[in-house]
A and B are shown apart, each in its own frame.
Chain A
Amino acid sequence: MAKKEVWQGNEALSESALRAGCRFFAGYPITPQTEITEYLAKRMPQLEGRVFLQGESELASINMVYGASAIGARAMTATSGQGLALMAEGLSQLSDAGVPAVVVDVMRAGPGNGGTESSQGDYSFVSGSLGHGGFKAFIFGPSTVQETADMVYDAFDIADKYRVVVAILIDGMLGHLIEAVELKPFRDMDSLPFRQWAEKNDPTGPKVHWCMGPNWEQHARDVAAMYESWSELAQVDEFMMDDAEYVVTAWGTCARCCKTAIRALRAEGYKVGMIRPKTIFPFPKQSFAALDEGKVKQIINFENAIPEQFLVDVKAALAEARKDIPIVSYTHGMGTCFTADEIEAKLREVVK
Chain B
Amino acid sequence: MEQKIYGLPEGMNDKKTSFCPGCSHMAAYRTIVESLNELNERDNAVIVRPIGCSLNADYSFDIHAIQSMHGRASAVATGVARMHPEKTVLAYQGDGDAHSIGIAECLYAANRGEKMTCIVINNSVYGMTGGQMSGTTLLGQRTTTGIREFDNQGAPIHVAEMIAQLEAPGYVARAALYTPKDIMQAKKFMVKALRCQKELGKYSYIELLSFCPTNWGVKPVDCIKYAQENVLPVYPVGELKTCF
A70 touches B66 (CB 8 A): yes
Q: Which residue of B lies closest to A57 (CB)?
A: B104
A55 touches B75 (CB 8 A): yes
A75 touches B79 (CB 8 A): yes
Q: Say how far A58's CB is from chain B's closest CB, in angstroms.
A: 11
B43 touches A200 (CB 8 A): yes
Q: Does B68 contact A (CB under 8 A)?
A: yes
A59 touches B66 (CB 8 A): no
Known: A56-B104, A59-B105, A72-B83. A64 touches B66 (CB 8 A): no
A71 touches B79 (CB 8 A): yes
Query: How far does the alpha carbon of A222 sit from the alpha carbon of B159 in the complex, in Å?
Result: 43
Interface members, chain B 43-87 (any A CB < 8 Å): 43, 46, 48, 55, 58, 62, 64-69, 72, 75-84, 87
Query: How far does the alpha carbon of A57 sit from the alpha carbon of B105 in the complex, in Å?
Result: 9
Residues of the B chain whose Cβ atoms lie less than 8 Å from the Cβ of A70: 66, 76, 79-80
Known: A90-B72, A200-B64, A209-B67. A64 touches B58 (CB 8 A): no
B75 touches A67 (CB 8 A): yes
Query: How far does the alpha carbon of A207 sit from the alpha carbon of B82 in the complex, in Å?
Result: 20
Q: Which residue of A lies closest to B70 (CB)?
A: A89
Known: A67-B66, A207-B67. A53 touches B72 (CB 8 A): no
Known: A59-B105, A60-B72. A207 touches B65 (CB 8 A): yes
A67 touches B58 (CB 8 A): no
Q: Does A97 contact B (CB under 8 A)?
A: yes
Q: Which of B43, B72, B77, B87 contacts A59 (CB 8 A)?
A: B72
Query: How far does the alpha carbon of A50 sit from the alpha carbon of B176 in the complex, in Å?
Result: 40
Query: How far does the alpha carbon of A90 sit from the alpha carbon of B67 in the complex, in Å?
Result: 11
Q: Does A51 contact B (CB under 8 A)?
A: yes
A71 touches B80 (CB 8 A): yes
Q: Does A285 contact B (CB under 8 A)?
A: no
Interface members, chain A 197-228 (any B CB < 8 Å): 200-201, 205-210
Q: Which of B62, B65, B77, B108 contacts A67 (CB 8 A)?
A: B77
A63 touches B67 (CB 8 A): no
Residues of the B chain whose Cβ atoms lie less than 8 Å from the Cβ of A205: 66
Q: Which of A23, A55, A63 contacts B83 (CB 8 A)?
A: A23
In the A-B complex, the 8 residue pairs with the closest CB atoms:
A67-B79, A63-B75, A68-B79, A67-B76, A200-B64, A64-B79, A63-B72, A56-B108
Report which B residues bind A (CB closer than 8 A): 43, 46, 48, 55, 58, 62, 64-69, 72, 75-84, 87, 104-105, 108
